[in-house]
Chains A and B, each alone.
Chain A
Amino acid sequence: MNTKHKANPHLYWNPYFGGFLLGIIIIFTFYLTGRGLGASGAMKSSVVTVVENVAPKHAESNSYYSQFIKEGDSPMNTWLVFEALGILIGAFISGSISGRIKWRVQHSPKITTKRRLIFALIGGILFGLGAQIARGCTSGAALSGMAVLSTGGFLTMLAIFGSAYAFAYFFRKNWI
């Protein structure tokens, strides 16, 4: 099994098997903690931490940052930050087993590395902004929301996929 993986680093799990295990993880997360998974929360905590250290007065007076600043505790001391650290470790283990660890920029052969990086930056900015407006990303709002039939979770999921399909035509050169 292992040698076969090494020979073909693009060999991934059957998507239904991966989805089934992911579903089990979500059930387990709700059973233990009463809440779902998340990802963008850790990046928000990082931004709050940086701003709080660079400009403490500004962070306190801003009505968004100040919601996440706790007296005598770092904004990094949250469940989602520890979970995000786990994501990095888990993905690293999986990548190591399958021989996928490598410094590289992945892009379509039809576009340049520079173009890929510029679009990755723009995409990140948009996703970061949208995830704050919707109070969660694909993991926290859509996936974990849908697991408990949250109306907002379903709305966000429909909006993400609907808009991505609507915009797909304009960005087709980057992917196909």
Chain B
Amino acid sequence: MGPLIPGGYIPMEWDSIIAIFIGIAFGFVLEASGFSSSRKLAGVFYGYDFAVLKVFFTAAAVSVIGIYYMDYLGYLDISKLYVHPTYLWGAIIGGVIMGAGFVTGGFCPGTSLCAVAIGKLDAWVYVIGIMIGVFIFSELFNLFEPIYDGYNFGNITLIDSFGWNPYWVIFVFAIIAVVAFGIADMVRKRVKSVFY
């Protein structure tokens, strides 16, 4: 029967209220996991703290398993869910720029909001930076338009792209995540501790 709001089971008026409650849960979990600390987040790139890797990939594995399970049991129709569209070069070039921004600033947009909420002034500056970045992109939109709108493959999934069986993809993804967690713990033991 799900998703509930697009399916008309919950009236549209509740949309914004649900948004706030989902945001509260999201912000609470991120902050409680330590994602309001840029030094903890950056640890994943230097091997002294792998919280980002563990939280991010646990969340990805749990959510993809849960969504496919709910589809299998008939509670959720996957074909009705919004699939982030694939603009090939936009995804790659944008991702590379974001990666550089991540290691320079130590936050991503969601985590910077958590840090803003608990009074980290560096996060306030970071959020202002994001807005300047959005402004630069918009003003120079004509320049970026070919990669923004080009190479569009539509709302495709790995299943469409490679013809893989989704259940095997999820199984292999979960195995990769668990192996990565094990390797991360081994790396951490060899890297000099950083106190922050």
Please state if B45 and A164 are interface contacts (CB–CB under 8 Å): yes
Residues of B within 8 A of A20 (CB): 58-59, 62
Shortest Cβ distance from B16 into A: residue: A82
Please state if A22 and B55 are interface contacts (CB–CB under 8 Å): yes
Identify the interface centre among A15, A142, A166: most chain B CB within 10 Å of its CB: A15
Binary flags per residue of A78-89, CB closer than 8 Å to B gives 1, else 0: 011011111111
Could you tell me how many residues of chain B have their Cβ less than 8 Å away from some Cβ of chain A? 132
Interface of A, secondary structure class, is helix
Please state if B20 and A125 are interface contacts (CB–CB under 8 Å): no
Please state if B127 and A129 are interface contacts (CB–CB under 8 Å): no
Residue from the list B50, B117, B122 in contact with A95, Cβ < 8 A: B117
Please state if B81 and A85 are interface contacts (CB–CB under 8 Å): no
Flag whether B80 is at the interface (Cβ < 8 A): yes
Please state if B58 and A95 are interface contacts (CB–CB under 8 Å): no
Please state if B70 and A27 are interface contacts (CB–CB under 8 Å): yes
Binary flags per residue of B109-136, CB closer than 8 Å to A gives 1, else 0: 1101111111111110111111111111
Residues of B within 8 A of A88 (CB): 23, 27, 113, 116-117
Please state if A30 and B67 are interface contacts (CB–CB under 8 Å): yes
Name A residues whose Cβ lies closer than 8 Å to a Cβ of B: 10, 12-13, 15-16, 18-37, 39-40, 42-44, 46-48, 50-51, 62-65, 77, 79-80, 82-95, 98, 100-108, 116-117, 119-168, 171-172, 174-176
